[in-house]
Chains A and B, each alone.
Chain A
């Protein structure tokens, strides 16, 4: 696939957006504005940019993506449902996508393709496969489901059952495995006897491929192809290899279980910097663009959070309303 200069620059915007989203999340957690254990996306921006690009490209082509973003997909989440409803939800405001009652974990908006998910890891792939089955049953041929799980979550037993049934029923679903090498304090070598988790697709007769998740172009190309296959009745699996830079959540002291010497050489593996260098070599951007585009994206995200800050919070009665669980999707 040959990407146009416009497309390459669009990805440049998204990769900076993803970086800024992570930085601002960290800032607002540390200043006490956002509460709870948030899993920061630092280091995984290449994947975010590629997935967002695929989402936007699909929308342009009249294809609806339905997905449960995984823990570190905040940039994708906000692009799915819109930045302001996302930020307001993170700040627990009534103007949030679910009235400020769902927090990050249970954000839901079926209309925009944000499927409900629970905190227990493992079962959601099965629910995704069920949703994809319903799409097929209803003849909705311009929709596809992305089940996004990490290396840890996809190692659970129910994940295999989901792959089996999806392949058997030929549902329009792409299984996405974000392999960042760690599930909390557990390294991937201790959860899987294979190097490439994409091998697991073979057990259900599905195609499985492994892609460098740091390269947003490779992610975009792989996902366009994966969508096409899935919508043609060939569910499949794509593993993206990335690096988790920080602890499992902000505050997790990873020093006690992980060799973090790689953090001294981040310039070599930084997906944002590497993408910038690629466009620089092509003459598409200038050196100073990196800071400028970063600051532009940062200003957009900062404004959304600042605008959200002074809005009203839900009452206790509203928070406890069972009809609001999963955004009223059930």
Chain B
């Protein structure tokens, strides 16, 4: 099982908002495929799946905020 966690992108540790999930729970994901998009002040970034597998859990839904290091999803 691989955990998907919120990365630290900018110079400040701002909370990020989940803008979009490109996959649903149960979907097959391929390493390198867009998985979700996050944003914060002055920052928008698409993030790819870190591994191939099945997306088994999503912990933060679109519109929810999360802090750096928070668990976002699990891929098995």
Contact = CB atoms under 8 A, between A and B. Distances in A.
Interface residues of A, number: 13
A299 B68 CA distance: 28
Interface residues of B, number: 16
Contacts of B8: 29, 32, 35-36
A32 B7 contact: yes
Interface stretch (B20-28, B37-45, B54-62): B37-45
Q: Please classify the interface of chain B as helix (H, G, I), strand (E, B), loop, or mixed, using the class held by over half of its residues.
A: loop
Interface string A17-42: 00000000001011110011100000
Nearest to A256: B44
Contact of B43 (A27, A31, A36, A252): A252
B10 A29 contact: no
Contacts of A35: 7-8, 68
B53 interface: no
A252 B11 contact: no
B73 interface: no
Please indicate which of the listed interface residues B7, B8, B10 has the most CB atoms of chain A within 10 Å of its own CB. Answer: B7
B48 interface: yes
Nearest to B2: A31
A251 B14 CA distance: 13
Contacts of A37: 9-11
Nearest to A26: B48
A214 to B, nearest CB: 26
Nearest to B44: A253
Secondary structure of the A side of the interface?
Answer: loop
Contacts of A250: 9, 45
Interface string A248-260: 0111110000000
Given A32-B5, A35-B68, A251 B48 contact: no
Contact of B10 (A31, A32, A249): A249
Contact of A31 (B42, B44, B45, B50): B50
A27 B8 CA distance: 12
Contact of A253 (B43, B48, B50): B43
B9 A31 contact: no
Nearest to B45: A251
A252 B6 CA distance: 16
Contact of A30 (B42, B50, B69): B50
A35 B9 CA distance: 7
Given A31-B50, A35-B68, A253-B42, 13 more contacts: A29-B8, A29-B9, A30-B7, A30-B50, A31-B5, A31-B7, A37-B9, A37-B11, A249-B11, A250-B9, A250-B45, A253-B43, A253-B45
Interface of A: 27, 29-32, 35-37, 249-253
24 contacts: A27-B50, A30-B45, A30-B48, A30-B50, A31-B5, A31-B50, A32-B5, A32-B6, A32-B69, A35-B7, A35-B8, A35-B68, A36-B10, A36-B11, A37-B9, A37-B10, A249-B9, A249-B10, A250-B45, A251-B10, A251-B43, A251-B45, A253-B43, A253-B44
